[in-house]
Structure 1
């Protein structure tokens, strides 16, 4: 019945979309001219070069936020020129009182204070663009825009800019080498054009091309840049070699030959950009180093699923949107670049009782990687990524203490053992625009091939996935329909495929899943996924969408993609109401409702969730976000890790976040998340505080604090056998976590910065009141579990012994699950871009990872396990030089 109702809603949405009307705003045009027989402008921010007299100013910027369609508080002017090598842009940003211009500094792409930007759709495809931003303080921002509105700040082209403040406001001048852009080779070209200015005092955005209050996209709404005649595409050729010197220091471990107190390393590599054609580029990296990249934040997953961490490595972050192929429902994607260079997956035969120590590399070495990407004048977007990772060996050596060696009856040999095979990764992605750029169809193919040797037969020998996707827009892109279909296949030994079938992503061995067939003799696995969605994406005060996505039980992507859980079907409906017209008490506001239903491929109805959310930006620039939800039905196929389908109690949750004006020197955000279930089975209490302070234009600090409690009386502990049946053991857990993230940025000038990142993370889990599952799908928790009484369970050190039948002998045992995890990560980085595109990094990283005493409070853990422990230190000097040929 639920599926039928959703089907009716889907048809209603499609019919409404076809018959609804929408308006459009006429496109503006700016005509530029070439620089002929004159000297090109000098990039000093003065705007007094004779060449600027060749073209007229364009102005009449219109407010976009907060009061769309009205005159801005301060007006802006723009000029554009070009020659055979460069595009030149001039801005004049009027401000009645120049002393009020906000000249805050920040990292590249921080967009601090007052700024102005230009966006260029040089492909003129209404979907992709290049964005260049300059702040009044001289801080650069540059982004590649894809999919009509996805901004990727990892793109770092070489370009030149200066700003000046005068009695009328401030000015900016840019020189953008044409080699940094991609365009066709027509004699006369038309590019998409947009310019945006942030007027800091009023937190106001104005644009050169006027926009609807709720536009259906970004690039598709640009105006036009004309007058580009005789441009010759520049084939980009940039080579950037690097060298790294590194010193690691740590507390020496007596007898361990791998932990003598320090290590040193000197290495080098190379990055390159090569223009194969005028619109297709090859990016290469050989032996890349990512030592200056921030560490991942601390996190613990008690549910057994893999935690998703964002990609941070520059080579893989840049243009990552080109390779995205999302399946719907969170982070699931056919391509997840962190699989390349992952931690080795193998293990060794080192025997500590024989005085053997092992040293396993933290990451697999990336021998080389290449990306071939771009977009042709015919509307073909192409992306190919190829990467090779090396064999990785663990070293095994003997304890160096003579007295230990003398007391060993048997001594093993020092040796190397393979822990990660030679692996090849391939990703290809294509999309084709048509229907006057209102539609596209695309495809993706991924391949992982491993050269398996030694004891690595538990890994897949090969893994392939592919998919097709499409999107169609109509009524000035107000309405859309999109979807995708994917297929995966993995091959390997019987052991490898059995591991895949039984891991938590799939759980073919579930005792009550008669629609699944766990076959220990299989050597391959093939599955599918897909999504279909239709909706209204912009224009007007209402947006909505409705759709479905699915992942079959056999779908497996985790060799090169990310898949949290297969065997999942989701139906969803989203409705959003925008309030874009400012009033005397708010600038803008939004309300939304979402309904999600989840099923498995056995036809079980596993979850319903209703969620209402709202946010408002007040007239004083404070904001308030809130939401609440109800989950009347929730079952989990994975809770018992292969056991029967588990029913959870109904849940109710809510959250609120309130923030002060983020423009102020000091601002804060306070947040609270609350969740309760019936019968008090599970609770969540999360408290967040975020502080931002900028005492000087050149100095900014931020501190994010988070404390969370998630007690439950049904936390999974483990499994045991009793009288030919499985016992699924649960416990009451009192767990809490605390984290603090501190960031400091100091700009000596726009090209020389000092950045600090530090995060301590503590997680405590204290178990008690153990019990076993009695009837997993019962409505009441008291019927689902049976608590061990004091005559059935006893503790012997770190072991709990269970005498379930009370006959005086132990029936089964399990280890004490209590733990406290402690972690500290920090990075201090001095970054100097001594010439555009060439950098020097000086890095000091610290790290502590260990276990604390679960019986201690946070103060004692911080004192004993953090402050009194000797951290591991890494000192790194990295230098790069960018040759633009």
Structure 2
């Protein structure tokens, strides 16, 4: 309990400090625009010669933001804004005494290369969210949606807008035209929008801004200037319809006798996405038979701890307005809504008899989905998502007979999220609700929940000009299903109710539901001066379950953390900026076990030559795990010390590189992990970029968990000495013919090999010395059976095998590549030509990594996918 008392004292200390000085206020700049009226709109050619620009004045006086905040920039910038009933127009003039030195690097969309100008528009003026539009001197568009007062920037939002640039004797100019239908604003007769503009001066990596924002400000959007003069704007209730047509040919090695592996498959498909502006604030998104196959390949990984892996969402339907649906309630990945559950791989895996062949769909078909979302002028953020996924069948063929087995039921997903800003946008209160309902139909799927529901409330308050903040949330969950399903939930890696030494948990095989709770309290200082700090308490009850449509890695945990950081506000000596931080963490379970104490110290150094160095050190004097034995007793890890360093060269150079080392060791060398990673990027000309990022890691663990079995009715938890080496590399080639026609190649070979020796069983899982935690099998107790590929254990050495362990050695080999040509032939409409290759196999664990690279990747026939996709966006 002493740690709870210390945390309470720390929180009271933060509260006491909240009566200190106010966050300083910077005077807000105001730009007043005018409507075009009867004047012809400007032609978007980058020349700024249109008469319509003369009706408004220039605004400028940019101030440096980085590296030397609140000083005069090297070159000045100015802009104008006009509008009509359909568009808002921006004209930029970026002065440059050396126009030949302007860097015009081409990239794919959202590349942010070379010199660029950016405009941020907070059309709700809510001090939290903003639309971002940036144009480079080369004419490349970058855009995104800013939320959480600048803490989150989502680059997957790709609206329709228009950009042209030009270089002249005074520097470079840009013209931008943005349809009002792409923005969200109220129907007020006289509106005030938040406004900010940023310029990147590439040669010195300087950022200058129109509205000054001190580096110790509480955020980004809340500090914007104002755009006035927006009179009589009519809400643009946009209607966009985007059909697609896709043809796909897949070739792969033929499998003789397998009717499902004939050597090639062809597919012709089509679908429709639609966006309807119900009001100018709220949008209804619809999709019918969506193509969710164009997801960038997830990075390869080997999972030895049994936990699920979190992957980012990249599908456009789920990405748009995802900030509204977000409900991250504890750690960053814990969320009531994890959209990749929708359309995931089918859950059922039928056992098939010898001689039979089976085909299972890679993904669950999404019959349709609808999403109603947006933010009103009164500060209400509203999001409702409904999706239905189809039944999926595995096809099993044996002796010319084909049977179908249901492996995924018809499922309905519902997500609802509401949040309300108040107190002059300094506070908000929100709720969330999710529901998953399945029609299981057969007993084979009884391991799945029939229904799952979650609910949450969250609150945040800022005070003293956003210098201090308090935020909290609480969630509750309930899952229902058969006794089989709820028993499986109690026993899975997230919960592990079967842990033999957990006095507060036990598996009840008669239960048909589980109800749990979780939450977070956080209090901290967000601005003013060099120091930042926060204190956090998080809990997840043992029965909390979110994984039907959310993401939860582990339940039964209470976490306390304290964070303190210091950052410089002015360059000095050889440094542009230095940020240092210290963090303390404590972990408990709901039985009161003290499982972990962790101290972290780190520093991020940016040099004046634009090199950067990031260093980190983590010390864990207390380190227990409730999950490493996967249902066994609480297990002690040795005292651990982690350290890392990452060095990155000047990213402006044509040749840039980085190097990183990550290293951790347990006391008495009981375990260790070392990784070397590097990256080289070369851009010989503005249109072409080559990037190569290899990494090599070594993972050694003298007590790596393998499996569990029993001997004379007693449980046996088997571990061994693991020696694992992993080699991976990613290769990227980008060739940009022009801003709207690009060719990209991505390839990644991944090889991981693990070998085990010195097998043992756990006898004293919490012993201080790692060697006392296990009993090593001697040569009289264990021998390897090559025919069965397993280790035979004669624990009592009486000549009779007591149990066996399948050989856990592994060699996983994977290669993925994509060659994509993308042409945006008109704004919002695209043609894709795609060639993908893939190889996945289990290699020979007795060979070295480079031998397996040759044998399993270079020496095998890959699966090839050739795809043509065309979309056309209609706007009404």
The TM-score, its normalising length taken from structure 1, stands at 0.98
> Are the aligned partners of 1:292 and 1:843 in contact in 2 as well (CA < 8 Å)?
no
CA distance in 1, matches of 2:18, 2:262: 69
The equivalent of 2:92 in structure 1 is 91
The equivalent of 1:599 in structure 2 is 588
Deviations 1:405-450 (A, max 9, x none): xxxxxx4831111100000111111110000000000111011000
SS of corresponding position for 2:18: helix
The equivalent of 1:394 in structure 2 is 394
SS of corresponding position for 1:13: helix
1:413 aligns with 2:401: yes
CA shift for structure 1 position 80: 0.4
The equivalent of 2:72 in structure 1 is 71
The equivalent of 2:848 in structure 1 is 857
Deviations 1:492-544 (A, max 9, x none): 00000000000011000110111013100000000001000000112321111
2:694 is aligned, of 682, 705, 717, to 705
2:334 is aligned, of 332, 335, 339, to 332
1:435 is aligned, of 423, 447, 450, to 423
CA distance in 2, matches of 1:567, 1:292: 37
CA distance in 2, matches of 1:695, 1:367: 47
SS of corresponding position for 1:196: strand
CA distance in 1, matches of 2:293, 2:136: 29
CA distance in 1, matches of 2:320, 2:174: 27
Deviations 1:701-726 (A, max 9, x none): 21111111110100001111112211
1:646 is aligned, of 624, 635, 651, to 635
Deviations 1:38-74 (A, max 9, x none): 1110000000100100000000000000000001011
1:442-841 → structure 2 map (5 Å cutoff): 442-454=430-442, 455-797=444-786, 798-841=789-832
> Are the aligned partners of 2:274 and 2:286 in contact in 1 as well (CA < 8 Å)?
yes
Moved more, 327-336 or 222-231: 327-336
The equivalent of 1:109 in structure 2 is 110
The equivalent of 1:403 in structure 2 is none
> Are the aligned partners of 2:23 and 2:466 in contact in 1 as well (CA < 8 Å)?
no
CA distance in 1, matches of 2:564, 2:663: 24
SS of corresponding position for 1:711: strand
CA distance in 2, matches of 1:334, 1:506: 17
CA distance in 2, matches of 1:838, 1:495: 49
The equivalent of 2:136 in structure 1 is 135
2:242 is aligned, of 240, 243, 250, to 240
CA distance in 2, matches of 1:236, 1:565: 43
CA shift for structure 1 position 128: 1.1
1:322 is aligned, of 324, 331, 342, to 324
CA distance in 2, matches of 1:648, 1:330: 25
CA distance in 2, matches of 1:295, 1:462: 31
> Are the aligned partners of 1:580 and 1:587 in contact in 2 as well (CA < 8 Å)?
no
1:300-379 → structure 2 map (5 Å cutoff): 300-351=302-353, 353=354, 355-379=355-379
CA distance in 1, matches of 2:166, 2:648: 33
The equivalent of 1:213 in structure 2 is 215
> Are the aligned partners of 1:152 and 1:319 in contact in 2 as well (CA < 8 Å)?
no
> Are the aligned partners of 2:117 and 2:134 in contact in 1 as well (CA < 8 Å)?
yes
> Are the aligned partners of 1:44 and 1:173 in contact in 2 as well (CA < 8 Å)?
yes
CA shift for structure 1 position 665: 0.2
CA distance in 2, matches of 1:827, 1:290: 16
CA shift for structure 1 position 612: 0.2
> Are the aligned partners of 1:556 and 1:563 in contact in 2 as well (CA < 8 Å)?
yes
CA distance in 2, matches of 1:446, 1:498: 22
> Are the aligned partners of 1:292 and 1:829 in contact in 2 as well (CA < 8 Å)?
no
CA shift for structure 1 position 692: 1.0
The equivalent of 2:193 in structure 1 is 191
CA distance in 1, matches of 2:330, 2:665: 27
CA distance in 2, matches of 1:820, 1:319: 41
CA shift for structure 1 position 349: 4.2
CA distance in 2, matches of 1:293, 1:558: 21
CA shift for structure 1 position 291: 3.3
SS of corresponding position for 1:710: strand
Moved more, 209-218 or 440-449: 209-218
> Are the aligned partners of 1:658 and 1:670 in contact in 2 as well (CA < 8 Å)?
yes
CA shift for structure 1 position 330: 3.8
The equivalent of 1:404 in structure 2 is none
CA distance in 2, matches of 1:752, 1:291: 21
The equivalent of 1:405 in structure 2 is none
> Are the aligned partners of 2:23 and 2:527 in contact in 1 as well (CA < 8 Å)?
no
CA shift for structure 1 position 290: 3.0
SS of corresponding position for 1:712: strand
CA distance in 2, matches of 1:532, 1:292: 38
SS of corresponding position for 2:12: helix
CA distance in 2, matches of 1:793, 1:685: 31
The equivalent of 1:844 in structure 2 is 835
Where structure 2 has 5 or more consecutive residues not aligned to the other structure, the ranges are: none
CA distance in 2, matches of 1:255, 1:385: 44
> Are the aligned partners of 2:530 and 2:567 in contact in 1 as well (CA < 8 Å)?
yes
CA distance in 2, matches of 1:41, 1:493: 66
1:867 aligns with 2:866: no
CA distance in 1, matches of 2:577, 2:495: 44
SS of corresponding position for 1:866: helix
CA distance in 1, matches of 2:421, 2:332: 26
CA distance in 1, matches of 2:665, 2:633: 24
CA distance in 2, matches of 1:539, 1:64: 16
> Are the aligned partners of 1:801 and 1:814 in contact in 2 as well (CA < 8 Å)?
yes
SS of corresponding position for 1:821: strand
> Are the aligned partners of 1:17 and 1:535 in contact in 2 as well (CA < 8 Å)?
no
Moved more, 6-15 or 325-334: 325-334
> Are the aligned partners of 1:700 and 1:746 in contact in 2 as well (CA < 8 Å)?
yes
> Are the aligned partners of 1:152 and 1:318 in contact in 2 as well (CA < 8 Å)?
no
CA distance in 2, matches of 1:308, 1:481: 28
CA distance in 1, matches of 2:58, 2:364: 54
2:224 is aligned, of 222, 225, 232, to 222
Moved more, 606-615 or 700-709: 700-709
CA distance in 2, matches of 1:370, 1:139: 32
The equivalent of 1:45 in structure 2 is 46
1:28 aligns with 2:29: yes
CA distance in 2, matches of 1:434, 1:291: 41
CA distance in 1, matches of 2:755, 2:685: 45
User: Aligned pairs, how many?
Assistant: 871
Moved more, 564-573 or 700-709: 700-709
CA distance in 2, matches of 1:225, 1:73: 26
Deviations 1:661-692 (A, max 9, x none): 01100100000011111111100111010111
CA distance in 1, matches of 2:822, 2:661: 36
> Are the aligned partners of 1:717 and 1:730 in contact in 2 as well (CA < 8 Å)?
yes
CA shift for structure 1 position 371: 1.3
CA distance in 1, matches of 2:687, 2:814: 30
RMSD of aligned residue pairs (Cα, Å):
0.9
> Are the aligned partners of 2:213 and 2:220 in contact in 1 as well (CA < 8 Å)?
no
